[in-house]
Structure 1
Amino acid sequence: MITNIVLNNIASYKSKAELKTDKKVNIIYGLNGSGKSTFSNYFYDPQSTKYEHCSHIGDYDTILVYNQKFIQDNFYSKDTLSGIFSLSKENKEAKEKVEELTLKLEEISKQKQQLRKDIVKQQSNISDAKEKAQNKTWEIKTSYTGGDRVLEFCLKGKMGSKESLFNNLCLIPMPTSKPSKTIANLKDEANAIDGDAAVKHSTLSTFNSFILSPEDTLSLNEIIVGSNDSPVSKLIGKLKNSDWVSDGLKYLDQIDGPQCPFCQADTITEQLAKNIRDYFDESYQNSIIEIKSIQTRYTSIVESIPKLDDYKNSQFSSGYLAQLNEHHAQLSKDAEANLELIKQKVSNPSLQVTLHDISATVSAFNLVVESINKLIVTHNSKIDNSANELANIKTDFWKILRYEYDQTISNLNAIQSEAEKIITEKTKDETAKTELERTTNSDRVEHQKSTVNIDEAIININQGLTDIGITDFYIEKHEGDLYRLVRTDSHLKIFSSLSEGEKMIISLLYFRELFRGKQSATEGNVRKIAVIDDPVSSLSHIFVYNIGQLLKNDFFNSKDIEQVFVLSHSLYFFYELADANHDRRKESQSLFRFSKNSNGSSISSIKYDEIQNDYQSYWSVINDDKQPPALIANCMRNVIEYFFNFVQKADLSNVIQKPELKNPRFQSFLRYINRESHSLGQNIFDFKEFNYDDFKEGLRLLFEHTGYPEHYKKMSKINI
C-alpha cells in the first residue's frame, strides 16, 4: 500500500504537493487542468528523469495505471491485444495443485518475512546496545574537554564521533589489573611537565659529615693540665682542681693586696700568684685555644644544618615527611649533645670528652634526601622530554579508561555475541526458505503452464461489453496468446473506428482483466495497485453508473487488489464512487481534491459533506482571481448558461441585452458570453482584453438587473 505521494517541480506542481493516505480506496476530484494527468503519468513512468523531484512511499509489487497513455500504448496503434492469462476451469486437478503451491508459497513468504523481522530485531538490538554504549563512553569527551582541560590532549584525533571514540576504546587491551595511577595523578603529571606549572626544581642538599679529625678527637680526649715545674703543680695534681684554679686566675687580676679571692684570707703573695701563673704555661694555653677552635668549628657545622622546612616545602617530599621529621630531629639532637660536650671540655680542660657517633643518623637522613632528589631529577628529565612523557600519560590515560568502562564494553560484547548467533541461525533458515521458495515456485510454474489460457479473459471482456449494452463489437482469440477486436459483421481492424467513449470502455475492461488474470504464464501472486484517471471523461451519463459499479465491484471490493486511486473531473461520478455510509467510508475510503491557481497545483483532503456540485464548482473558480483567465471566463459562461437556460428558461441572447452592460468596459465580457457554443479556453486570449474585475462586475450586473442579486451574493461567497 502507498502511504505518501509527493509531486514537486513538474507541470503545474510549482512547489511541493503531498498526499497522505492509509486507506485502500482513494477518490480524487479535480477540474481539468488541476494536475490529475500529471499524477497518473508519474505512476505510469516513475523512473523518468522529469519526475526526479517526485516520490512515493509504500509496500507493493506493481502499479498498473489506466490513463490516456495506457490507452495509446495498448490500443491506438494496434487492434491485436496481448493475451491475459487465467486459470483454466477444465483442468481441476492442475488448478488445485497450483492453488496448493500458491498457498505454500504464501506461507513460505510469511516465514521468510518473520525470519527477516527476527534478523532485523537482532540487528536493532545490536544497534541499540552500541548506541547506548557509545553514549556512555561519550562521557569521556564531555568530561575531559571541559573544565580544566588538562588531559584534553589525550583525546586529540578521537573526538570525531561517538562511534570513533568508542571503537578506539575497544581496541585498547584490557589491563590485567587495576591501574596504579589515577586520573588525578595523570593531571598532576601533565601539569608538572606541560603548561604554567612546568618548572624545573633544584635538588635538596645532603648533610656533610659530622666526623672530627683524629687530632681533634685526640684533643678532646686529652687531660689538659699545667706545668709540672711549678711549685704548686703537685698540690693541684693531688687535689685535681686545675680547672678550678685556672678559672680563678681571672680573679687574681681583680684583687689589690694579699686577700685570697677564694678564702678571703691574706694569703696571696706575689710569689704564690707567680707560681700559679707559671703552672698554666704557654703549652696549657695553646691546648685551651685548640679546644675552643674545635668548639667554633663544630658550632659552625651545627649551625649549617638546613632547616627542616627547607626540605618539607618541596612538593616532592610529601611522601617522606615522617622520615624527614624523625631523622632531622635525631640529627639535631645528637649534634647539639656533641656541641655541649665540647663546651664542657672548654670549661673543664682536664675533662676527657668522647663525642657521640652520629654518622648513622646523617646517612639515614641523606638517604631520604637522595630518594626525594631522585623524584626531582625524574621530574626535570620529564620536562626535558615532555613530548615522550605526554605520550606516556596518554597511554596511561586510556588504560585507566579502558579499565573503568570495561563493564560497558563487556555488556555490548555479550549482547552482540548473542544477537549474532541468532542472526547466523536465522540467516541460515532464511537461505533455506529462499531455496525452498525457488523450487516450489518452479513447481507451480510447471503446473500452471498446463492450466493457463486467455479464454476466460475473452469471456469476461465480452460479458462486460454486453452488461454495459455494447453488442456491435467484441473480443476474439487471435494467434495463440493474443486476442483482437472485431465487429459483429466484419473481421477487419476496427479499433480506430470506435468512438472515444467505446475506446474508453473496452480499454477499461481490458485494464480490469489485468488485475483479474496474469500477464504471463509464469506469474505468481502479485500485490497490485491501480491508478485510474478519469474513466468516464468521454462517456455519456448512460454509462457512468455502469462504470461506477464496475470499479466498486472489481476494484474497491476485490481482495486481489491492494489499493486503488481514482481521479475524476465529474462531481456526479465522484458522488457515485464515494460511499454514502459514513462508517464504511471512514473505514476504507479517503477523499481528496486537486486545485490549481497562479501558485500552481495543490492537494488537499476533503470531507464528504464538503463536496460541491458542478454548478458550485464553477462559482468557486469564478471567485478565485488566481485561476487562469480562460478557466474563469468559461466557468462564467457555464454558470450563466446553466442558470438562465435551465433554471429560468430564458434565452441567453435576451439575458445579456441589458443597458447596464453597454459600457465599453464590459464588451469583452459580452462577446465571450455571447458565443454560440463553448470555446476553447485559449480563444479568450485573442482579445487580450481579459480583466478579472471587469468580468466579475459584468457578471454581478447581469444577475442584479435580471432580479437575482441575492443569488449572486450567496454564490460569490463560495470558495474552493
Structure 2
Amino acid sequence: MLESITVKSIATYDAKGVQIDNLRKINFIYGTNGCGKTTLSKLIYNPTDAAYSDCCLRWKGNLPVNVLVYNKDFRERNFGKGKMDGVFTLGQATKEDIEAIEKMQSKLAEIRDKGIEKKETLEKQQKKKSQEDNEFKEAIWLDIYKENEDEFKEAFRGFMKKDSFRDKILDEFKSNKETLLTIEELKEKSQTIFGKTPTILPFLSTIEFKRLLEIESDKIWNKKIIGKADVPIAGLIQKLNLNDWVNEGRSYITEDETCPFCQQKTISESFKKQLEDFFDESFLQDITQVKFLSEEYNRDCRNLQNILEQIELQQKGNPESKLNIEQFSAFLKTLVSQFITNKELLSNKAKEPSRSTELISTKVQLENIENLIVECNDEIKTHNDIVNDYTNQRNNLIRAIWKYLIEGHRGIIEAFIKKQDGLEKGIQALQLQHKDLQDKYVELNKKIKEANKNVTSVQPSVDEINRILKSYGFLNFEIVPSKKESNQYQIQREDGSIAESTLSEGEATFITFLYYLQLAKGSTKEESISEERILVIDDPISSLDSNVLFVVSSLIKEIIKSVKQNTGNIKQLILLTHNVYFHKEVSFVDGRTLKNGNTHYWIIRKNNSVSSIQAFKMENPIQSSYELLWKELSNSSKNSGITVQNTMRRIIENYFKILGKYADDDLITSFDNPQEQEICRSLVCWINDGSHGLPDDLYVEQQDAIIDRYFEVFKQIFIKMNHEEHYKMMYRIPEDEKIAVA
C-alpha cells in the first residue's frame, strides 16, 4: 500500500513541492482543473520517468504494489488503436476453483503481512543496533580519543575519524596480547620513539684504572729506603738521619779526593767504598722502583684525566646525552684533586726515599665515574637497540598504548560487544524468518498464477460491460470480439459498423471507465488476474451527464466497500476529482458514519501557478458546492484575487438572488457609502452578465490592492440585509461573537 507521495519540480509543483502523507485505504483528493491532479496520477503510473526524478513514492514495507491508473492517458492507450485487449476474469471458474484461489490469495496476503511485520521488526533491530553503535562510537571518541589525543597522537594516526577509531578499538580488544605498561612507562617510551626520529649514539670510552690502584697501594711508598747497616759509616749516617742528604750528595763526588762540601782532600777510596757499600744494590732497586712507579702513575693519571675531561666536554654539548653530567663532573673534579695530591706525594718520596708516605686512594671516585659511564652506555645500548629495531619498537609501543587504553575502558567495550552480539543474533534470526516468508510467498504466488490460467476467461468481462451499457441506456453499441485478432475486442454499432471513431465524448468516457473497472477485477494476462493492486482514478466523469455520474459513483462505492472490508484484490483507492457533486456523492457512505479511519481527504489548490495541498484527515471538507464556496473564501490567502471575487459573486448569487429573490438594487442600495456601492455593484454585475462579462477595468487592475475592501463590503451585504447569523454560521464565527466592522 502507498504510504506517502512526494511531488516537486514538475508542472505546477515548485522545488519545495508537496508531500501527501498518511495515505489510507480510501483517499479522496479534490482540486479544480489545472491544479495538478493529473500530474499526480501520472507520477503514480510511472514514477521511474526521468521527468519525476525529484519525486518519490513510499510503500508500506518497501513493497510496491501493481497500480492501475485511470486518466486521459488510459483512454488513449486502450482506445486510441480502435480495439481493446481482452480482460481475463474468474467468471468461468467453478465455485470450488474460485474458493481455492481465494483461499490461496488469503494465505498469500497473510504471508505478505507477516513478511512486512518481520521486516519492520528487522528494521527496528537494525536501527537499534545502529543507534547503540553510534552511542558507543561517540562515547569512546570523547572518553578515549579526546582525552589522550595530545599524549598519544602518533598511535592514533590512521584512526582519527570516529568510525575507524571505533573499529580499531574493537579490533585491538579482540587481538591485543601486549604486556600492560603503566602510563609513566608509556610516556617515557613515547618521548624517545614518538619524538624526533632517533639516531645511533656512540658509546662512551670505558676507563681502565686497575693499574693506578695497584700503584697507589704499592708497599714501596710506606717503605723507608735506607743504606746497608753493617757498613762502618752507616752508624753515623743513620744517627744523624742523613740517608737522603748523603744519597743526594753522592752525585757530586768526582774522581779526585776533594769533598764537594768542604773542598778538602777527604774523599778517599775507602770512603767511596763505604758509600757504595752503604747504598747497595737493594737500595738502588728501591730507588729505581720509586722513580719508575712515579713516572707510570703520573703518565696514567694524565691519560685518564684527558679521557674523562674529553667525555665531559662532549656530553655537555650533546642534548641527547644519556650521561648524568652533573655527577660525572663532580666526581671528576674530586678525582683530579686527588691526582694532584698524589703527584705531590710521589715527588716528595722521590726526593726523600727514607720517608714513609701513603697515597690517597682514588678507587671510590674512579668506581663512581666508571658506574656512571656503564649506566650511560647501558642507556645508549637501549637507545641504539630501539633505533636498530625502530619499526618493531614503534609498533610494540603503539600496541602497548592501545592495550593500556582498552584495559582502562574494558567495561564499556565488553558491554557494547555483548549488546551488539545479541542484536546481531536477533537480526540474523529475523533475516532467516523473513527470507523463509519471501520464499513461501514466491512459491504460493506461482501456484495462484497457474491456477488462474486454468479457470480464466475474457467473455465474462465483455458480458459485464455490455450488460451495464444496456442497463443505463447505451443501446446503440456494444463490445464484440475482433474478427482479425484473437483476444482483441472492438466497439460495434447495431448495424455492424465499428463505432470507435463515432462515439461521443461522454460515451467514450463511460465505456473507457467500464473497461477500466473490468481491468481492476481481472487482467489482460491470465496468470495475474488475482494480483493485489491499487486503483488511481482521475476525474472519471469529466464529460458525463448527471445520470451516468450517479452510475459511476455507485460503481466506485462498491469498490470502496470491498476495499474497506478487505475483500478482493483491490487494496487501496486514490480518487482525484474537480466535481463537487461527484465528490460528495462518491464519498457518501450511509449518512451515519461521518468519519472513518480508513478514509482521508485532501484539497489541492493552485495560487500564482504553484500547487499546494491541504490535508483534512478523516474530516470531509466538501459537504456541498455552496459550503465549498465558503471554505474557498476562508482560504483566500491561497487563491488569487480574481478567484476570491468570483467566489464572493457566486455566494451572493446562490444565497440572495436564487434563494432570497433579492434584486440587484436591493443589495446595492443597502449601502450608504458611494464607494461601497460601487464595489457591491462590481460583485453583482457578474450575475447580470452570466459570469461572462468583466467588471470595470478599475477593479481588475486594482484587484490585489482592494481585496480587503471587497471582504468588508461582502460582509456588510449580509449585515445590512439582516443575514448576519448566516454569515457567522458559514464563516465559523461563534454566535456570541460580534462581527468586526471596518
TM-score w.r.t. the length of structure 2 is 0.66
Query: 1:563 Cα deviation (Å)?
Result: 1.6
Report the 3-state secondary structure (helix = DSSP H, G, I; strand = E; otherwise coil) of the residue aligned with 2:611: strand
Query: 1:677 Cα deviation (Å)?
Result: 3.4
AA in 1 matched with 2:221: L
Instruction: Please name the residue that 1:74 is paired with.
Output: 78
Instruction: Please name the residue that 2:626 is paired with.
Output: 615
Distance 2:42 2:596 in 1: 28
1:16 aligns with 2:22: no
Instruction: Please name the residue that 1:3 is paired with.
Output: 3
- Does the Cα contact within 8 Å between 2:71 and 2:537 map onto a contact in 1? yes
Q: Structure 1 residues 73 and 591, CA, compared in 2 at 3 Å: closer, same or farther?
A: same
1:660-705 deviations in Å (ceiling 9; x for gaps): 889998799489726643449xx88999954315688679768868
1:512 aligns with 2:522: no
1:193-250 deviations in Å (ceiling 9; x for gaps): 675898998866655415357799363263434674898955998xxx999x999xxx
Structural mapping, 1:5-154, within 5 Å? 5-14=5-14, 15-58=16-59, 59-75=63-79, 77=80, 80-92=83-95, 94-95=97-98, 98-99=101-102, 102=105, 142-143=145-146, 146-148=149-151, 151-154=152-155
Distance 1:466 1:595 in 2: 39
Q: Structure 1 residues 514 and 397, CA, compared in 2 at 3 Å: closer, same or farther?
A: farther
Query: 1:453 Cα deviation (Å)?
Result: 0.6
Larger mean CA deviation between 114-123 and 20-29 belongs to 114-123
- Does the Cα contact within 8 Å between 1:30 and 1:593 map onto a contact in 2? yes
Instruction: Please name the residue that 1:275 is paired with.
Output: none
Report the 3-state secondary structure (helix = DSSP H, G, I; strand = E; otherwise coil) of the residue aligned with 1:551: helix
Distance 1:440 1:619 in 2: 53
Instruction: Please name the residue that 1:561 is paired with.
Output: 570
Q: Structure 1 residues 166 and 540, CA, compared in 2 at 3 Å: closer, same or farther?
A: same
- Does the Cα contact within 8 Å between 2:480 and 2:492 map onto a contact in 1? no
Distance 1:42 1:35 in 2: 11
AA in 2 matched with 1:642: N
Q: Structure 1 residues 133 and 644, CA, compared in 2 at 3 Å: closer, same or farther?
A: closer
Query: 1:315 Cα deviation (Å)?
Result: 8.0
Report the 3-state secondary structure (helix = DSSP H, G, I; strand = E; otherwise coil) of the residue aligned with 1:453: coil
1:274-322 deviations in Å (ceiling 9; x for gaps): xxxx9xx999999699699969969996997989xx99x998479xx9x
Q: Structure 1 residues 343 and 26, CA, compared in 2 at 3 Å: closer, same or farther?
A: farther
Report the 3-state secondary structure (helix = DSSP H, G, I; strand = E; otherwise coil) of the residue aligned with 1:601: strand
Instruction: Please name the residue that 2:270 is paired with.
Output: none
Distance 1:632 1:129 in 2: 55
- Does the Cα contact within 8 Å between 1:141 and 1:159 map onto a contact in 2? no
Instruction: Please name the residue that 1:456 is paired with.
Output: 460
Query: 1:606 Cα deviation (Å)?
Result: 1.9
- Does the Cα contact within 8 Å between 1:190 and 1:393 map onto a contact in 2? no
Report the 3-state secondary structure (helix = DSSP H, G, I; strand = E; otherwise coil) of the residue aligned with 1:57: strand
Distance 2:665 2:504 in 1: 33
Query: 1:520 Cα deviation (Å)?
Result: 0.9
- Does the Cα contact within 8 Å between 1:295 and 1:343 map onto a contact in 2? no
Report the 3-state secondary structure (helix = DSSP H, G, I; strand = E; otherwise coil) of the residue aligned with 1:87: coil
Query: 1:375 Cα deviation (Å)?
Result: 2.2
Query: 1:528 Cα deviation (Å)?
Result: 1.4
Query: 1:514 Cα deviation (Å)?
Result: 2.0
Distance 1:360 1:662 in 2: 124
Report the 3-state secondary structure (helix = DSSP H, G, I; strand = E; otherwise coil) of the residue aligned with 1:604: strand
Q: Structure 1 residues 287 and 155, CA, compared in 2 at 3 Å: closer, same or farther?
A: same
Query: 1:18 Cα deviation (Å)?
Result: 1.3
Query: 1:20 Cα deviation (Å)?
Result: 0.6
Instruction: Please name the residue that 1:264 is paired with.
Output: none
Q: Structure 1 residues 143 and 185, CA, compared in 2 at 3 Å: closer, same or farther?
A: farther
Distance 1:657 1:119 in 2: 73
Query: 1:595 Cα deviation (Å)?
Result: 2.0
Report the 3-state secondary structure (helix = DSSP H, G, I; strand = E; otherwise coil) of the residue aligned with 2:525: coil
Report the 3-state secondary structure (helix = DSSP H, G, I; strand = E; otherwise coil) of the residue aligned with 1:147: coil
- In structure 2, stretches of 5+ residues that fail to align are 245-274, 733-742
Q: Which of 690, 706, 723 is matched with 1:677 structurally?
A: 690
Q: Which of 472, 475, 488 is matched with 1:472 structurally?
A: 475
1:502-523 deviations in Å (ceiling 9; x for gaps): 4444333322222222331111
Larger mean CA deviation between 399-408 and 58-67 belongs to 399-408
Instruction: Please name the residue that 1:591 is paired with.
Output: 601
1:600 aligns with 2:588: no
Distance 1:485 1:201 in 2: 105
AA in 1 matched with 2:657: N
- Does the Cα contact within 8 Å between 1:118 and 1:426 map onto a contact in 2? no
Q: Structure 1 residues 123 and 66, CA, compared in 2 at 3 Å: closer, same or farther?
A: same
Report the 3-state secondary structure (helix = DSSP H, G, I; strand = E; otherwise coil) of the residue aligned with 1:86: coil
Larger mean CA deviation between 79-88 and 662-671 belongs to 662-671
Report the 3-state secondary structure (helix = DSSP H, G, I; strand = E; otherwise coil) of the residue aligned with 1:142: helix
Q: Structure 1 residues 685 and 52, CA, compared in 2 at 3 Å: closer, same or farther?
A: farther
Structural mapping, 1:202-217, within 5 Å? 206-212=206-212, 217=218
Query: 1:537 Cα deviation (Å)?
Result: 4.0
AA in 2 matched with 1:16: G
Q: Structure 1 residues 186 and 403, CA, compared in 2 at 3 Å: closer, same or farther?
A: closer
Distance 1:613 1:95 in 2: 42
- Does the Cα contact within 8 Å between 2:223 and 2:356 map onto a contact in 1? yes
Query: 1:649 Cα deviation (Å)?
Result: 2.3
Structural mapping, 1:10-409, within 5 Å? 10-14=10-14, 15-58=16-59, 59-75=63-79, 77=80, 80-92=83-95, 94-95=97-98, 98-99=101-102, 102=105, 142-143=145-146, 146-148=149-151, 151-159=152-160, 162-163=163-164, 166=167, 170=171, 174=175, 177-179=177-179, 185=185, 187-192=187-192, 206-212=206-212, 217=218, 219-220=220-221, 222-225=223-226, 228=229, 234=235, 316=322, 366=370, 369-376=373-380, 379=383, 389=390, 391-400=391-400
Instruction: Please name the residue that 1:481 is paired with.
Output: 487
AA in 1 matched with 2:8: N
Q: Structure 1 residues 27 and 358, CA, compared in 2 at 3 Å: closer, same or farther?
A: same
Distance 1:670 1:421 in 2: 70
Q: Report the identity percentage.
A: 21
Query: 1:709 Cα deviation (Å)?
Result: 7.8
AA in 2 matched with 1:56: L
Report the 3-state secondary structure (helix = DSSP H, G, I; strand = E; otherwise coil) of the residue aligned with 2:524: coil
- Does the Cα contact within 8 Å between 1:223 and 1:351 map onto a contact in 2? yes
Instruction: Please name the residue that 2:538 is paired with.
Output: 533
Larger mean CA deviation between 101-110 and 392-401 belongs to 101-110
Query: 1:486 Cα deviation (Å)?
Result: 4.7
Q: Which of 661, 664, 669 is matched with 1:649 structurally?
A: 661
TM-score w.r.t. the length of structure 1 is 0.68
Question: Would you say how many aligned residue pairs link Structure 1 and Structure 2?
Answer: 662
- Does the Cα contact within 8 Å between 2:648 and 2:714 map onto a contact in 1? no
Q: Structure 1 residues 603 and 454, CA, compared in 2 at 3 Å: closer, same or farther?
A: same
Distance 2:347 2:474 in 1: 151
Distance 2:96 2:150 in 1: 81
Distance 1:663 1:92 in 2: 73
Report the 3-state secondary structure (helix = DSSP H, G, I; strand = E; otherwise coil) of the residue aligned with 2:160: coil
Report the 3-state secondary structure (helix = DSSP H, G, I; strand = E; otherwise coil) of the residue aligned with 1:211: helix
Query: 1:21 Cα deviation (Å)?
Result: 0.9
